[in-house]
Structure formats: structure tokens, C-alpha cells
Amino acid sequence: MKKFITFFAVVLTAFNFVSCDNEPIDPAIVIGGENPGENPGNPTAPAVFKADFDGQTFTTSTAQAYISGGSITLSAIKPNGESFSMILDGTATGTYPANSNLIGYSPSFDDYSYAGNHPTDENANTGSIIVTSINTENQTISGTFSFTGYWTDYTDDTIAPKEFSNGVFTNIPYTSVSPTGDTFDATLNGNVFNDVDILTIETLIAGQDFISIGARNLNDDSITVSVRSTITAGTYPITGDVGTDQVQINFAPETEEFGTTASSGSVTITEKTATRIKGTFNGTVVIGEDTFTITGGSFDVEY
């Protein structure tokens, strides 16, 4: 999943809510308290999410987590719109480096955020998230975090990185069922593409605003459908020109970091509201001597 996360980290502009598909909980999850030091305290205590930065402490009890077939998504928000979000490449307790996962802080309803991914050095040590307990009886997750956040509008070099320390999330309720009802289906070279994660974000591609819907399967292959944020219902062809196409399809096999854009195909938008988009797609991606044919694609997601 690192490849999948890396792709979204590169184009990330707004790091708030990201949805995950409905999948079984990983059997590696350990109930908090079974191993020494993994119980954060009282497993029935109220949920708390907090972190220190800029001489203040962010504190909220409004937080939620989703554990899918391959990842943990957690978000916390205050009434004024300030929020933290994280997507972790795994579903078990342990340490998750910030530079190979996603973690970020967004000021009040801002389009950009401070993300724990260095803009020019993907191997830079920017911090970590430690999941100390996943209590399957009470369905809560707890842990700690600290990271250096870099402003995701990389065209503005006047905003300095921000340090986030003493981060704690305790007894945050989680579910394995997507609250949005998001779906993503496709056939890849005649075989069903069984996704284990769906991520939907707004991105910048070639200087234009896009809505990107990505899905990953158990083999770590990923398919991403991107459409201009101003798009309306209709069918849009893919020509392979990323500068002019209204829609794009990207396929990244497990062996490739970023994948390749389809040279032909189309995306049909059947419904689009202020918060949800639905459509179908098909495309052909050529990587070296290999051709990948995507057919019967469909998505229905919140964005």
C-alpha cells in the first residue's frame, strides 16, 4: 500500500476526510490489554484526541476511525473546522513512520494542510504514529503521534514547517463499515478487481482541480479515476493528453510506484452533487510491452 499512499501524498492538497471500503478486520489486530503496555488506561473512558503546536493544545472528543482490509483511517475535528487526519498502511498495533503513511493538520476549513511528507525528500524522518491498542471488544483505537508538517501548497515557500508534538488519541471509536457507502468496481484484463481500500480526495493535476477516486486490491495494484472538479454529467473521452483531458484513468501495478495514465477509454459521469459523484469508466493502459484493459468500471463515492 506504500505505493498507493505515495501517489496520493504527491497530489494531496486537502487532507480531511478520506473514506475506506467495507472489509473484514485484519486478524492481526490485538485487543488492548492482552500485551503489556498496550492498554492506554480505562478502555471505557471518553474519547480524546489532542496535540501540541504553536504553544497551544488542540483537543477534541469528536473523532472517528475506520479499519478496512488494509488500512486505518482516523480523523478528528473541532467546531471551528480545525482537523487532523491520518491514513496508516496496516491494521495492527505498531509504529507507522509519518513519511511513508499519511498524517496532516488542516487549519479551519482550509484547502491546504500541514502534512507529514517532506516535499523534496520522501525518505526524510518526519515523525511517526504509534498505535498502542486496538480494542476489538469496545471497538476503540488508541495511540500517540508526533510529526513535522509541511504546507501542501508547494507553490508557496513562505510558510515554514510546523512541529506537532505530544499527540495522543485515546479510545477513539472505530468501525469496519464505510459510513459513506462508497463503492468501486472494475474488471482488469478479464479478472475482477477486488478492492480493499478506496480513497477519494481533491487534487491538483497539471495545475487543474480534479476529484480523484482510487482503489487498491490485495496485490497492491491500484486504479485511480480522476475527473475535473467542474465536470458535469456526460461521457468524456480519454486521449492520453493529461493537459487537456477532462478525465483520466491511472493504473499502477504492484511493481510500479506511480503507474501510467490510460491512452484511451472514457469516463461517464451519471450523477454529481456537492458531496457525491457517481459514474462508469473503461480504459487501456500500456506499460512497456504489457497492455492492461480496464472494463466494467463504476464508482459511487463521497468527496
117-127 pLDDT tens trace: 998 998 999 99
Q: How far apart are CA 270 and CA 273, in angstroms?
A: 11
pLDDT bin (cut points 50, 70, 90) of residue 5 is low
User: What is the pLDDT, as a whole number, of residue 43?
Assistant: 67
* Predicted confidence (pLDDT) at residue 296 exceeds the cutoff of 90: yes
Please identify which residue in the block is written with the cell numbers 477513539.
172
CA distance 101 to 97: 6
* pLDDT tens-digit series, residues 25-69: 333 333 333 333 334 457 678 899 999 999 999 999 999 998 876
pLDDT at 219 over 90: no
All 3 cell numbers of residue 274?
Answer: 456537492
Question: Is 0.85 surpassed by the pTM of this model?
Answer: no
CA pseudo-torsion sign 140, 43, 16, 158: negative
Closest CA to 199 of 26, 105, 68: 68
CA–CA gap between residue 43 and residue 135 (Å, rounded): 8
For the chain, give every domain's residue range.
Answer: 2-175, 183-302
Give the pLDDT score at 243: 83
Cβ atoms of residues 225 and 213 within 8 Å? yes
Compute the distance between CA of residue 303 and CA of residue 13 in angstroms, rounded to an integer: 13
Are the CB atoms for 295 and 187 separated by under 8 Å?
Answer: yes
Which H or E run contains 148?
strand 140-151
Residue 253 carries which side chain, given as an amino acid letter? P
In angstroms, the first-to-last Cα distance of the chain is 21
| Residue with the three cell numbers 477519494 | 200
CB environment 207-218: b (16+ within 10 A), e (fewer) = ebebbbbbbbbe
Lowest mean pLDDT among 87-91, 126-130, 206-210, 232-236: 206-210
pLDDT at 41: 54
Averaged pLDDT, 89-95: 92
Q: What is the pLDDT of residue 218?
A: 78
